[in-house]
């Protein structure tokens, strides 16, 4: 499996993914999360037994790509941030923009299954988490579907990276090669999520710097069976 490569300041940092994890129902207000679970249940999505959730996915699903092939027209992305553990030290934990591309038809049969059906697309630039930790809640998260804004918020809406680092440490998963995606923020009403292109930006208002991932969605030919 090819390593992921991130521009971090003037450096290029490489890491081979050994474990990938997707957080779910990870809003900082668990009251809002409970309301969201109820809304999804009405759409047929099975409710989790606890929140937040953590879904292991195949390591090869964490990728840097400009194209995502899909089997049908009901898949979509989710704006997220990702932690990437590249070494044993505190400064080795990177933060980058990410998009969890999910099969919405499969989601009604099981969220964990739907997570395995699409990739976690990561940006090619990252910040060291320690360099932005003091202003983490001010960082912005924005997504566009076919150029239309579909998600907009701040990291204050999600459980913070420190929560997940402690969780990984407790599970003996805080080791090089681990990638964790944060879970997502609400979508804006009236925007078609089943788009041909997705873009996610993670912004730092204090510096004006922005990390991004951007990809096209390509429909594969129908199966011959």
In this predicted structure, the answer to whether residue 179 has a pLDDT above a threshold of 80 is yes
User: How many Å apart are CA 29 and CA 107, to the nearest integer?
Assistant: 23
Q: Model pTM?
A: 0.94
* Residue range 96-120, pLDDT digits in tens: 999 999 999 988 888 888 899 999 9
Q: For residue 93, how far is the Cα from the chain centroid?
A: 16
- What is the residue-wise DSSP string for 73-123? S-EE--EEEEEEE-SSSGGGEEEEEEEE-EEHHHHTT-HHHHHHTS-EEE-
The rounded Cα 23 to chain-centroid distance in angstroms is: 8
Cα(64)–Cα(117) distance, integer angstroms: 16
């Amino acid at each position: 499996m090819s390593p992921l490569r991130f521009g971090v300041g003037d450096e290029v940092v490489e890491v081979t993914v050994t474990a990938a994890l997707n957080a779910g129902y990870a809003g900082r207000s668990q009251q809002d999360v409970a309301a969201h679970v109820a809304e999804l249940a009405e759409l047929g999505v099975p409710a989790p037994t606890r929140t937040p959730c953590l879904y292991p996915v195949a390591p090869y699903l964490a990728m840097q790509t400009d194209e995502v092939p899909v089997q049908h027209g009901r898949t979509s992305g989710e704006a997220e941030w990702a932690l990437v553990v590249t070494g044993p030290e505190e400064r080795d934990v990177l933060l980058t923009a990410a998009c969890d591309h999910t099969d919405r038809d499969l989601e009604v049969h099981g969220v964990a299954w739907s997570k395995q059906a699409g990739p976690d697309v990561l940006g090619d630039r990252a910040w060291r988490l320690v360099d932005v930790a003091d202003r983490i809640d001010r960082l912005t998260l924005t997504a566009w579907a076919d150029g239309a804004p579909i998600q907009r918020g701040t990291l204050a809406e999600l459980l913070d990276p420190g929560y997940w680092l402690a969780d990984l440490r407790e599970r003996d998963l805080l080791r090089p090669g681990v990638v964790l995606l944060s879970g997502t923020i609400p979508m804006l009403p009236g925007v078609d999520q089943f788009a041909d292109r997705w873009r996610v930006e993670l912004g730092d208002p204090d510096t004006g710097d922005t990390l991004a991932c951007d990809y096209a969605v390509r429909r594969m030919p129908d199966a011959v069976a």
